[in-house]
Amino acid sequence: MNIGIANDLPLAVEAMRRAIALRPEHRVLWVAADGAQAVDFCIAQPPDVVLMDLIMPKFDGVEATRRIMARAPCSILIVTSSVGANAWRVYEAMSAGALDAVDTPTLADHRVADAAQPLLAKIDQIGRLLDKPAAYQQRPSAPLTRGDAPLIAIGASAGGPGALATILGNLPPDFSAPIVIVQHVDKAFAQGMAQWLDEQTLLTVRAAVSGDTPQPGQALLAATNDHLHLTRHGSLDYTREPADTPYRPSVDVFFHSVVEHWHGDAVGVLLTGMGRDGAIGLKAMRAKGYQTIAQDQATSAVYGMPKAAAALDAARLILPLGSIAGELTTIIKR
């Protein structure tokens, strides 16, 4: 993979160079010393992935990500001194289109290979996203019975945190449907993202744990690197299978489990994100008679997942982000 580095700290740049040098299939395409350079370099020499710091001169990592996604979209991995200490900025960068985040590796000579592994693992994961579509076979569906409050099943990836905040923030406090969200996010900051989303809405948002059952007026967020799914008893659980999908947690896995195990009505919503995850599952939801919605191109930070859904005719409605909460409210009132 061709890799761009955006970081103004020489020690951090050298640590990333050494990590990348451990993999002969990767090469550093360029190094930008500030956010403005990163934008210019992405336009002039588009990389496969940018390793983006959060704190830089001119444009910080959030603004640089936003401008890159607007002018020269590419995969962006936030690499910062401490993901935990900068969680709020990480969520802002992901809202702008960044895919993931990881701590900057260290330069300790006797531990270079060990220190490089988290960064290289994230780069490998992004490489799989670029090269592989989701492969998940539809399973037989259970009989559908209409319940009082449909389950709102939402999938999102790059740009998702901001899109989710917009939708949840625009739902009324008496919204009576249960909501389950699968956002491509590392478990290291899934709990923090749930807390951040909880602050954006009058509803309750928290991380989903095994054994939870979807409840009206509550949004549950997938919070591990395993796949969230509904069991035949209607409760939530996590599974490692399918193990080879590049998307973890997978939107397709959850959507298919809704088709198989949810015995009421449901609405599938697929938001901004890179790749194809969720498109096949949304198609299965539509085939079962559920309402399905995909975000439109104009308001998507990354028009990948909803584009794949549109190509499959998986979405009954294609809506701008600002209209989705209103449509969900209308569906619930009906």
CATH number at residue 182: 3.40.50.180
Number of domain units in the chain = 2
**Is 112 in the same domain as 201?**
no
Active-site residue 184, yes or no? yes
Shared domain check, 233 and 198: yes
Active site residue 131: no
Mean pLDDT along residues 228-254: 90
Q: What is the pTM of this model?
A: 0.76
pLDDT digits (tens, 9 = 90+) for 16-31: 999 998 888 899 999 9
For residues 199 and 260, state if they share a domain: yes
Residue range of the domain that includes 166: 151-333
Does residue 142 carry a pLDDT above 80? no
Q: How many CB atoms lie within 10 A of CB 247?
A: 28
Catalytic residue, chosen from 53, 60, 100, 157, is 157
pLDDT band at 245 (very low <50, low <70, confident <90, very high): confident
Domain identity same for 15 and 54: yes
| pLDDT greater than 70 at residue 108 | no
CATH number at residue 70: 3.40.50.2300
Q: From the centroid of its chain, how far is CA 308?
A: 15
- Average pLDDT value for residue range 147-166: 90
Q: Which residue among 78, 100, 131 closes a domain?
A: 131
97 close to 73: Cβ distance less than 8 angstroms:
yes
What pLDDT is recorded for position 188? Answer: 79
Residues 163, 120, single domain; the answer is: no
Residues 226, 97 share a domain: no
Statement to judge: residues 59 and 28 lie in one domain: yes
pLDDT at position 131 is 63
- Same domain? For 193 and 305 the reply is yes
Which pLDDT belongs to residue 275?
Answer: 87
Reported as a single tens digit per residue, the pLDDT across 33-79 is 999 999 999 998 999 999 999 999 888 999 999 999 988 989 999 99
Dihedral (Cα; 53, 57, 63, 69), 10-degree rounding = -70
Same domain, 166 and 81: no
The answer to whether residue 112 is domain-embedded is yes
Instruction: Tell me if 146 is assigned to some domain.
Output: no
The answer to the question of residue 144 being in a domain is: no
Q: What is the predicted pLDDT for the residue at 144? A: 37
Q: Which of 99, 131, 163 is the last residue of a domain?
A: 131
Q: Is the pLDDT of residue 94 over 70?
A: yes
| Candidate list 26, 184, 227, 229, residue with the active-site label | 184
189 found inside a domain: yes
Is pLDDT larger for residue 179 or for residue 147? 179
pLDDT, residue 134, reads: 39
The verdict on 190 and 286 lying in the same domain is: yes
Q: Rounded to an integer, what distance in angstroms lies between the CA atom of residue 48 and that of residue 99?
A: 13
Identify whether 82 is a catalytic site residue: no
